[in-house]
Chain A
Amino acid sequence: AQSVTQLDSQVPVFEEAPVELRCNYSSSVSVYLFWYVQYPNQGLQLLLKYLSGSTLVKGINGFEAEFNKSQTSFHLRKPSVHISDTAEYFCAVRFPWGATNKLIFGTGTLLAVQP
């Protein structure tokens, strides 16, 4: 069965420092991978996605993620964070095919950027 693990529930970081948010998934077949961001009091919005091709995916607001099939990981990175990046980040996985079309979310990581 598919599952998504975000081991870090909260990541505190100072402004302008680099950050990595970890995501590991479990699946016996190829999947699509996503990162969503939820700013305070807002809904989720897509940050980036991996469907196929290049394993390094660039998203909005300077974020990028790298798909590593051997380690079944899809970690999110940013070289220099801003206060405005403070939000909750969700990793998600989906089968490319199938009737359910269900997007399975991780439990989220709260990125807390401090001045």
Chain B
Amino acid sequence: DADVTQTPRNRITKTGKRIMLECSQTKGHDRMYWYRQDPGLGLRLIYYSFDVKDINKGEISDGYSVSRQAQAKFSLSLESAIPNQTALYFCATSQPDRVIAANTGELFFGEGSRLTVL
């Protein structure tokens, strides 16, 4: 089984609908992230969470919200989906390097959730 699991893997919806993408992890990591991937734009950070009580906006948070239900679960919601939110969404986790007390940056990604908004 994958360490970082995303559901659903594929979703087609209509403009104005509410959509939730879910992410769960078995790596025991504190930090979780939601990224969006668009062709030619790479990955852009939507939201990130360092622990259950800590939620932070990334560079493209407008139109999205998140919920950290537990250490292992981090969900992304689109309250009213629009066509330009059609993209591939990735959840990722990380853990800071406690020896050097710095974030050495390795992210562990789920397999992605492809969302199409018509």
Contacts and interface: CB of A to CB of B under 8 A. Distances in A.
A43 B109 contact: yes
Q: Is the interface of A mostly helix, strand, loop or mixed?
A: loop
A9 to B, nearest CB: 7
Size category of the B interface is 20 to 34
B43 A43 contact: no
Interface string A89-106: 010101011000111011
Contacts of A114: none
How many A residues touch the partner, as a band?
A: 20 to 34
A34 B105 contact: yes
Interface string B85-104: 00000101010100000111
Nearest to B50: A101
A44 B102 CA distance: 22
Contacts of A42: 111-112
Interface of B: 4, 31, 40-45, 48, 50, 58-59, 90, 92, 94, 96, 102-107, 109-112
Q: What are the nearest 10 A-B pairs in CB distance?
A: A43-B109, A107-B42, A105-B42, A105-B43, A101-B103, A94-B105, A44-B109, A43-B111, A96-B102, A32-B105
Given A41-B112, A102-B59, 14 more contacts: A41-B111, A43-B4, A43-B111, A44-B90, A44-B92, A90-B42, A94-B103, A101-B48, A101-B50, A101-B94, A101-B96, A103-B45, A106-B42, A107-B40
Interface of A: 9, 32, 34, 36, 41-46, 49, 51, 90, 92, 94, 96-97, 101-103, 105-108
